Amino acid sequence: MPFVKRDARGAVVAISREPAEGFVEEAGPSVEDIQALLGLGEDDSLAGTDQDFIRVLEDVVDLLIDKGVFLFTELPESAQQKILQRQRLRRAAGDSLQLLGDD
């Protein structure tokens, strides 16, 4: 478990694998403060929405192919390889990412 160091306001400002001066609080791996420090929390910036948008684009490409708007083989070879690689990774993850929810 990591150890955290907090500032005067109580926000996590540093993380350590070992207890050390100022790192006395042992934190669980899913502590929201740690996620915020690492930039893993909610992020409404352009970069913060990239993962969600990539998933949407993947679904749109799949839909257009399923509807016959274009053929998968009409995409450039490099695009085909990237799509196939992401499909393999999603299957391997058991489609557990669930970025879009049930909307």
Tens of pLDDT, residue by residue over 48-101, are: 677 888 889 999 999 999 999 999 999 999 999 999 998 888 888 775 555 555
- Higher pLDDT: 14 or 37? It is 14
CB 55 within 8 A of CB 100: yes
Burial class (CB in 10 A: 0-12, 13-18, 19+), 102: exposed
Angle of CA points 94, 95, 96, to nearest 5°: 85
Counting other chains too, the contacts that 73-80 makes at CB distance below 8 Å and 24 or more residues apart are none
pLDDT tops 60 at residue 103: no
pLDDT tops 70 at residue 102: no
What pLDDT score was predicted for residue 48?
A: 67
The domain limits of the chain are 3-37, 47-92
Residue range 16-22: average pLDDT?
A: 77
CB 79 within 8 A of CB 61: no
Quick one: how far is CA 82 from the chain centroid? 18
